[in-house]
Structure formats: C-alpha cells, structure tokens
Amino acid sequence: MDHQESTKPKRNYGWVILGLCFGNLIVEGGVTRSQPVFLPALRQGFGGSAAMTAAIFSASGFFGGLAAPVLGKILDIIGPKYMFPLAGIVILLGWWACSMVNHMWQLFIFYSLISALGHISIGSFTTTAVLAPWFPKSKGVMLGIADSGNATGQAITPPLLQLAITHYGWRAGFRIFGILFFLIAAPLNFLLQKRAPDAVQQFPSPENILEENTESSIDTRSQSGDISDDAYKFNALKEPAVWMLLVSRATASISNQMTSLHIIAFFVMAGYGEMQSAAAIGAAGLFGIGARPVFGILSDKIGREIVFTIAMGMTFMAVLVILLFTGGASLWALIIFVALTGLSDGLSGLLLGAKAADIYPSNVLGSVMGVVHVGRTMGTAVGGILTGLLFDMNGNYDLAYWIAAVLALLSIVAAWAVIVFETKPKVHKV
C-alpha cells in the first residue's frame, strides 16, 4: 500500500508537465505570431525595405537553426528544470534590449541572435522531447493539448500587441511582452519541471538518483536494443528518418513563414485595417486551441501521415483563398482563411514531433528534435526574407504565395517518405 501511494503521484505528475508545456508553448506562439505585427511597425519606424525588415526575423530563424541541435543536446544533459527558466531570462533580456535600439542593425543582435536562443529553447521541439515520455501510449493527443498553448499564444498576442503598438509604440510592445513571456516561462518551470522517470533511468542526475523506484511507473520504449542508451554517443545526423523529418518540417515551415510573416501587410494592401488583420490572426488561434488536441487524437488512431496530409492540405487551400479571393477586402474570404489556418497552423511541428517520438527513445529525443527543428528555423530564415524580396521586386505578394502553396504539397511527400527510412526500436522486455 505504501509503495502504491508513493508511486501514484509520480504516475500523475505527467499532467503537471503537460501544464508547464502548455505555458511554454503560449510563449512560443506569442513570440512567433508577434512577428507579423512588429514587421510593419519596424519597417515604418526605421524606413527599411520589406526584405530588410523581414531579414530581422529570418536571421532569427537562421541562428536558431544553427543552435537547435546543440540546444537539444543540452536539454538531454541538463534537463528542462534549468533549461526552460534560462530561456525565459534570455527572452526578457533580449526583448528589453530590442526596445532600446536606435538602429535596425542592432535588432539583428538582440532579436535575431539573443532572443532567438530563448524562444527556440522553449519551443515545440523541446516540448516534444520533454512531454512525450510521460505519455507513451497517447503522445499524439497530449502533444496536441500542449500545442494548443501555441494557438492560445497566437490568439492572445497579435491583437493585444497591435493595441499596445497603436497606443504606445513598438518599444513598449517589446517591454510589456518581454516581461509577460518571462513570467510564463521561468518561475513555474524552475519550481515544478522534472524529467520523466524513464529518462531518469537512462540518464541519471544526482537529484534523480533518489527517485530510482519510479522507473516502472511509465511504460515506454526508451530502452531500445537498436539505439544507444548513451545520450552522448547518439548521432541524430546519421539517421535517414531524421533527415526526411527535417525536409518535411523545412518545406512546411518555409511555406508557413512565406505567408504568415507578411500576412498583416498583405491584408492591409487588400483593404483591411491593421487592427482587423491582427484580430484575424488572433481568431485563427482560437480555432487552433480546439483543433490541435483533436488532430492529435486522430493521429494516434489513424496515423501521423494521414493527419499531416489533411493539415497541410488545409494550409494549401488557405493560401489559394487569400490569393484568389481577398481582393477588395472580402469578408467571407477572410473568414475562410481564418478557419483553415486556425485548424491547420502549427500541426506540422506537432505531428512530425509525434512521429519522431514514435521512432526514437526519450533519452535521445532531444537530440533528434534538435535536428528536426532545423527545418523549422530554415523556414523562418528563408521564408520571410524571400517573400520580402519578391514583394520588393514585384510590388505584390502573389508569386511568393504561389510558391508557398507548392511547398505545402512537397512537405506532404516528405512526410510520407519517412515511412521508407524509419526503423522500429525493439521494446525492452521487463
């Protein structure tokens, strides 16, 4: 009886981790969806071109992509208890520094380099690595619930940030939301965050050695005979399946970034107001709050690839809608776009992360997701600046958005190709 009572809290603690991951992804969603709001404000404030202003956020993706594999390895070594609070501190310092710059080039240091390390460290790839081991038999739905935090950040941040910028300026926007993101990310993670019991067994730390008896509380496939138990020795770059996951993540992310970063500017050109456009992005987030757990459940039941195809198909249709029907500020076109993007946005990371967790054990999942996340940061690096360049050349976003539509389809092909290269680790028999 005593043993059962002692282990029950350990079994239930995954729900605490789920709540923490939900909060972390509110920060990620808030940071990424703040970029379309900041872009026109910074462009106006510094008088730069669309491409140059977008390059601030593109450079953020580039440096984040370089850092993601290293950050994944650090997560495997030091654990989330210390990594996530540090991320919150870095975001706070970076955003406050951004609020005090006098030249655009300074934003490349404080936002693109410093702040990027913070929000990437607390994003979807680290969430997958931390949360999936707690729910091995229902990782899709649990990752979906957690990722609804991303949609929540999207729903809240753009309209509130636009309101702050309209009344107080973009500098105040950086300061206010830098504080908010820090408060969400740092204190609770430091107090409550911990490794999953299987990860404790695989890679013990001094504080976790005292919790050895929790190993059996979660049944996972992390003890694989096919993959090294040593997080130091595992090399995700040698895994073909990881490369295909990266390609799918990259094409989906480039497609998303080509449209999303400039979406407010696009809508304003189409005749919508800035506040109306920011509210539309927020409304799309509201759709995503409920959609992500549902799609997570579906992916557990009918397969990651099928649900990924549905999600990216909706992304494709959303791009077509805004290309063909937003002229003249059509209200119904805006509604359809909001619905489709709200239902599909962010699902590529969720589903590909769940697929990675299906294949690889938890003690190396941080490293795997770090490499896969390079695909996302490639999208951030390439998509925004490419769209800005095409706009500066053509005076409109049409060509960029057509390219985005094609890339959405290519991501589906790459996701299905993972099946060809994946290896199934042997489940350790206890």
Q: Which amino acid is at 27?
A: V
Looking up residue 398, the CATH number of its domain turns out to be 1.20.1250.20
Q: For the residues 415-424, what does the mean pLDDT come to?
A: 78
- Residue 333, pLDDT above cutoff 90: no
pLDDT score, position 182: 95
Q: Is residue 426 part of a domain?
A: no
Q: Is residue 51 part of a domain?
A: yes
pLDDT score, position 427: 38
- The 3-state DSSP composition of the chain as helix, strand, coil percent (nearest 5) reads 85, 0, 15
Q: What is the DSSP string of 350-390?
A: HHHHHHHHHHS-HHHHHHHHHHHHHHHHHHHHHHHHHHHHH
Half-sphere exposure of 354 (CA within 13 A, CB side): 32
pLDDT score, position 330: 67
Residues 6+ apart with CB under 8 A from 120: 64, 67, 68, 71, 373, 377
User: 319 with 259: CB under 8 angstroms?
Assistant: yes
- Among 210-214, 346-350, 410-414, whose mean pLDDT is lowest? 210-214
Residue 427 forms beta bridges with which residues? 224
Residue 423: pLDDT band by 50, 70, 90 thresholds?
A: low
Residues 6+ apart with CB under 8 A from 54: 39, 261, 262, 384, 385, 387, 388
Q: Which two tokens stand for residue 8?
A: 């029950």
pLDDT score, position 204: 37
- The per-residue pLDDT for range 365-382, each reduced to its tens digit, is 777 777 787 777 777 778
Place of tokens 């003249």: 328
Q: Which amino acid is at 430?
A: V
- Residue 360, pLDDT above cutoff 50: yes
- The per-residue pLDDT for range 235-279, each reduced to its tens digit, is 777 778 888 888 888 888 888 878 777 777 777 777 777 777 788
- The per-residue pLDDT for range 198-243, each reduced to its tens digit, is 644 433 333 332 333 333 333 333 333 344 445 556 677 777 888 8
CB atoms within 10 A of CB 47: 10
Residue 161: pLDDT band by 50, 70, 90 thresholds?
A: very high
Per-residue burial over 376-403, b if 16 or more Cβ lie within 10 Å, else e, is bbbbbbbbbbbbbbbbeeeeebeebbeb
What is d(CA 103, CA 99) in angstroms, rounded to the nearest whole number? 11
Choose between 92 and 358: higher pLDDT: 92
- Residue 346, pLDDT above cutoff 60: yes
What percent of the chain shows pLDDT beyond 90? 17
Q: Which two tokens stand for residue 340?
A: 């489709």
Domain count, the chain: 1
Q: Is residue 202 part of a domain?
A: no
**Residue 369: domain span:** 11-195+233-421
Q: Is residue 208 part of a domain?
A: no
Q: How far is CA 163 from CA 43, 53, 192, 359, in A?
A: 17, 21, 33, 44
Q: Is residue 215 part of a domain?
A: no
What is d(CA 413, CA 380) in angstroms, rounded to the nearest whole number? 21
Q: Is residue 80 part of a domain?
A: yes
Q: For the residues 284-296, what does the mean pLDDT come to?
A: 76
Residue 124: pLDDT band by 50, 70, 90 thresholds?
A: confident
pLDDT, mean over the chain = 78
Q: For the residues 380-408, what does the mean pLDDT come to?
A: 85
User: 122 with 92: CB under 8 angstroms?
Assistant: no
Q: Would residue 346 be called left, alpha or beta, if left means φ above 0 and alpha means ψ between -120 and 50 degrees? A: left
Half-sphere exposure of 299 (CA within 13 A, CB side): 34
Choose between 126 and 272: higher pLDDT: 126
Choose between 172 and 297: higher pLDDT: 172
What is d(CA 219, CA 196) in angstroms, rounded to the nearest whole number? 11
- The per-residue pLDDT for range 134-156, each reduced to its tens digit, is 887 777 778 778 888 888 888 88
Q: For the residues 8-12, what does the mean pLDDT come to?
A: 52
Q: How far is CA 185 from CA 78, 121, 171, 285, in A?
A: 17, 11, 21, 20
Q: How far is CA 254 from CA 191, 227, 248, 387, in A?
A: 36, 31, 10, 10
Q: Is residue 70 part of a domain?
A: yes
- The per-residue pLDDT for range 60-89, each reduced to its tens digit, is 877 876 787 788 778 878 888 899 999 999
Q: How far is CA 21 from CA 113, 142, 207, 229, 321, in A?
A: 24, 10, 21, 25, 33
Q: How far is CA 28 from CA 123, 179, 238, in A?
A: 5, 14, 29
What is d(CA 128, CA 167) in angstroms, rounded to the nearest whole number? 38
Q: Is residue 429 part of a domain?
A: no
